[in-house]
Amino acid sequence: MKILNRDNFSFAGMQSFYWAGFCILFAYLTPYMYSLGYSNTQVGVLAASISVASIIGQPVCGYMCDRLRTVKHVMVFCLALSAVLTVLFLFVGKSFGMLLILSTIISFIFQALYPLIDSWTVTARLKNSTINYGLTRGIGSLGYAFTAAVAGIIFDHYGYKWMFYLFILTACITILCALFPQDIKPTSKDDDEQGQLKMKDLKQLLLNKEYFGFVLIMTILYIAYKANSTFLPALMTKVGGTNADLGLAWSILGLSEVPFILISGLLLKKFKDTSIIFIAMIFFILRVGLPIFATNPTQLIWMTALQGLSYGLFLPASVYYISRIVPKHLTNSAQTFAVALYSGLGIAIAGILGGWIADSFGIYSVYKIGGIVVIIMTLTYRIMLNLLKKKGELHEVRPTNVGLGDADLKQHL
């Protein structure tokens, strides 16, 4: 089969082991802090700090990739440095200050990489039509799901020190996978000159009303969505769950993304990316709000399955949506800037505000308020699209021209 080739295996390996490492370190960082006796507010401060780091790190790495015209070398360097720095966790002990500083630095380096992997895969598809983003990203979700289920059991039995050992291992394997695909480089001097990113190009992104409006809306929505994820361990404990239950919840969360990411190419050929994003936002309402009704671990675990219909639909649609509405040479910067804001700034605000709300009014208030925020942002997105369409400023595209495995995407990049 055409999809069974070296590039698909390499990108799938990168996605799988990157997200495995992400799960091991960042998904379990919150319960690790609770095990050390920290409060919701302290957990929120750390979540905010690592998010601010990602806000800075993602655009910086995206800029460097565009400027240097290489994704591979930037990725390998960041992965190697993350692995080396993680060794220091073993000597930090219970010092909140040291834990905060080290987590922030690693977040700056490591969390910059996942939009680059997505962008690298999409761009490589233009030269190799057998590369399938939906397949490789879906396998990444499987890696996250499997790791989440196993890691919770490991940490319950052998302690959290294994969190650091396993992260280092996954980072090293991700480096090996990154060595095989062809790097993104200009093919001529003209391409190189056109590919050099200038400050005026960054200004061009901010003046793109549709792009800026989308990023702003998703940033606010992500505040509610990421508060849901950040304090899931606290809610799981509230309803009587253990680390194993939390691991199962993370696992189902990851597995639920897989079928929707795998069929994303077909969906994007039949429907507009903006329509898929809007539908995903509707399911984000349920994803964020329903946990307030959970009374036991089983109910809460299965509620995380809504991740597939929300984030699973949103991720591939947003990657192609952004690639379509920005100039080709700004693709990496646009992707990383967007993710840095709504996934970075969103977590930062969610951490601080969510921690304060949880300590002041109870953990359920975080989810109640979050549900209302998502409803408002969903309506705002639809209104924005209608207003831009009336003004003739909407970047419209026919559904048949967009797809995760469609060569016609090249004309939009």
pLDDT at 408 over 60: no
Which pLDDT tens digit goes with each residue over 241-264?
888 898 899 888 878 887 887 788
Which pLDDT tens digit goes with each residue over 281-306?
999 999 999 999 999 999 999 999 99
In the chain the domains, ranked by start, together with CATH numbers, are: 6-412 (1.20.1250.20)
Residue 388 and residue 203: Cα distance in Å, rounded? 20
Encoded tokens for 3? 């999809």
The pLDDT of residue 110 is 93
Higher pLDDT, 202 or 14: 14
Q: How confident is the model at residue 351 (pLDDT cuts 50, 70, 90)?
A: confident
Helix axis angle for 133-158 and 114-125, nearest 10°, is 150
The pLDDT of residue 268 is 85
pTM of the model: 0.71
Encoded tokens for 108? 């700056």
Residue 25 and residue 7: Cα distance in Å, rounded? 27
Residue-averaged pLDDT of the chain: 83
CB of 256 closer than 8 Å to CB of 306: yes
The pLDDT of residue 397 is 61
Residue 217: CA atoms inside 13 Å, Cβ hemisphere, count? Answer: 22
